[in-house]
Structure formats: C-alpha cells, structure tokens
Amino acid sequence: MPAIELIGLDRLPEINKGDELGELIVRAANDAGFKFLADDILVIAQKIVSKAEGRLVDLKSVRPSGKASEIAERQRRDPRLVELILRESRRIVRMDDRVLITETRHGFVCANSGIDHSNIPDSETVALLPVDPDFSARQIRGQVAQLLGLTVAVIITDTFGRAWREGLVNAAIGVAGLEPLVDYRGKPDDHGHLLTGTVLALADEVAAASGLVMSKSARRPVVVVRGVAYIPREGSAKGLIRPSERDLFR
C-alpha cells in the first residue's frame, strides 16, 4: 500500500548566524543513525533559517515611526515590533485592535510579516523571515547534495493563519527541487471524466504534514518527508502566491 513517512530530526544544536544548515542537518542525521535517500523532502522551519542567516533583530536597536507607534497603541503592542512588521511589509492587508495582517516583501499574506520571538534565547530579540527563502532552500539543497551526493528537495516553512479557519498550519515559504503545484487539469478521474480546476498545492501539503512532527515547544525544526511523488524542478514558493489581481481577499 502506498505510504509516506514523516521523520523528525532531533539533536540539532542551537543555530547561530553563519551556520551552514545543510552541514548541521547532515551531521545531526549521522549522529542519529539516520540515512537520507534520494528524493527525500527536507522540511525546515523558518526560525532556524532566519537564525543562520542573521535575521534576528534586537528590539533595542529599533526606533519606531509615528505610524508604528499609532498602531502599537491601538493594539497595545511594542511599537518597535510594529515598526519591524511595517518595514518587512509591502502593505497592510487587514488590521483591527488585535491583529495586523500584512503582505510581506516576498508577497506572503500573514500576521505580523512573519515576525515572532518564540524559540529565541533573548526575550528582546525577534526573528524576521529570511530575505529570500527560495535562495535559502537552494543553498541547503546544494550543501546536502555536496556532502551526501544525494538529490533531495527542500521546503522552508512557517506557521501561518488562514482566512475563515481557526488555528495555524505550516505553509511553504521557500522551495527548492520540486514543483510546488500539481496540475490535474485535463487528466481523467476514475470514471474517465476530465478533472477541471484541480491544482493541488503539494508543497503546502508537505509543509502542513511536517507540522505534525515539528513541534512548537520541542527543538525539532527539521522533518524528512519520504515517499511523496513529486515533479523534480528548480522550484520556488513564488508560484504558491496568488497574484493580487486574481485574489478576491487582498
């Protein structure tokens, strides 16, 4: 029977600026006696990518603008954090007294431009999203290929809220080595009728699946997803972003 495995990789050290994540992941896998296979998908939480890329910001270094201070007062939040959220965004998509939903510079629509301070040692420090998560994914993929002589795909994820539904799910923000969307349009269903309008967001399904093994409170930011049939491609998470002219909710 067709099966997929989701395997959590523990034993990763605390990540610091300049660390080569691909190398650390390969080493942690070795230590755990885990062997990668070709075509495994390596799913990595954004937080450690941001740490490795030095995307931590000390709030003490941030001077809030008037606009940031205004929003912060309305939402009873730290104006320096709001300042960073605005800097990392192209625009505010929705805002009320509790929530600040922005479109990030990458085009992702999420709360707080993806900035948060969970799992960071210093409580005055926050993590921004990687500048170019596709590039980060490609780098890690390259490091793994070089160290192991194996082709894996890499997905970088963050937990995003959704319109209409409660709770966060893990979503893909960076992709390397796979086609993130699978297009079934024009293919026949069980009964020979052509499927219409069916494009599956494979990379987001992989990301969400990995969220079952990653844990917000445990140090397990890397999950290997094995057995997914995907189309090998350079790949990018950009295809997962609906262009705003086709988006009825932006």
Contact set for a copy of itself, span 149-208 (CB under 8 A): 159, 162-171, 180-182, 184, 187-191, 193, 195, 198-202, 204-206, 208
146: part of which helix (H) or strand (E)?
helix 133-148
Chain centroid to CA 34: 23
Closer to a copy of itself by Cβ: residue 67 or 216: 216
Residues 82-101 that bind a copy of itself (CB under 8 A): 94, 96, 99, 101
Residue (of 222, 224, 193, 187) closest to 48 by Cα position = 222
Cα–Cα distance measured from residue 210 to residue 245, given in angstroms and rounded to the nearest whole number: 31
Residue 10 interacts with a copy of itself (CB under 8 A): yes or no: yes
Q: How far is the CB of 45 from a copy of itself (least distance, A)?
A: 12
Cα–Cα distance measured from residue 130 to residue 65, given in angstroms and rounded to the nearest whole number: 23
Residue 78 interacts with a copy of itself (CB under 8 A): yes or no: no
Residue 76 interacts with a copy of itself (CB under 8 A): yes or no: no
Residue (of 138, 182, 165, 150) closest to 49 by Cα position = 138
Residues 34-63 that bind a copy of itself (CB under 8 A): 34
Closer to a copy of itself by Cβ: residue 33 or 149: 33
Judged by CB under 8 A, which of 7, 145, 148, 150 binds a copy of itself?
7
Closer to a copy of itself by Cβ: residue 145 or 201: 201
Pairing of strands 41-45, 222-226: antiparallel
Q: Considering all CA atoms of the chain, what is the largest pairwise distance in Å, rounded to the nearest integer?
A: 62
Closer to a copy of itself by Cβ: residue 146 or 198: 198
Residue type present at position 170: N
Chain centroid to CA 1: 30
Q: Helices 79-87 and 66-75 meet at what angle, rounded to 10?
A: 120
Binding span for a copy of itself by CB under 8 A among 60-68, 138-146, 147-155, 212-220: 212-220
Binding span for a copy of itself by CB under 8 A among 18-26, 63-71, 118-126, 139-147: 118-126
Closer to a copy of itself by Cβ: residue 59 or 139: 59
CA distances in angstroms from 185 to 193, 203, 247, listed in the order given: 11, 18, 20
Residue 132 interacts with a copy of itself (CB under 8 A): yes or no: no
Neighbour-count burial for 55-83, b at 16+ CB within 10 Å, e otherwise: bbbebeebebeeebeebbeebebbbbbbb
Residue 212 interacts with a copy of itself (CB under 8 A): yes or no: yes
Closer to a copy of itself by Cβ: residue 2 or 149: 2
Closer to a copy of itself by Cβ: residue 143 or 210: 210
Judged by CB under 8 A, which of 74, 105, 219, 233 binds a copy of itself?
219
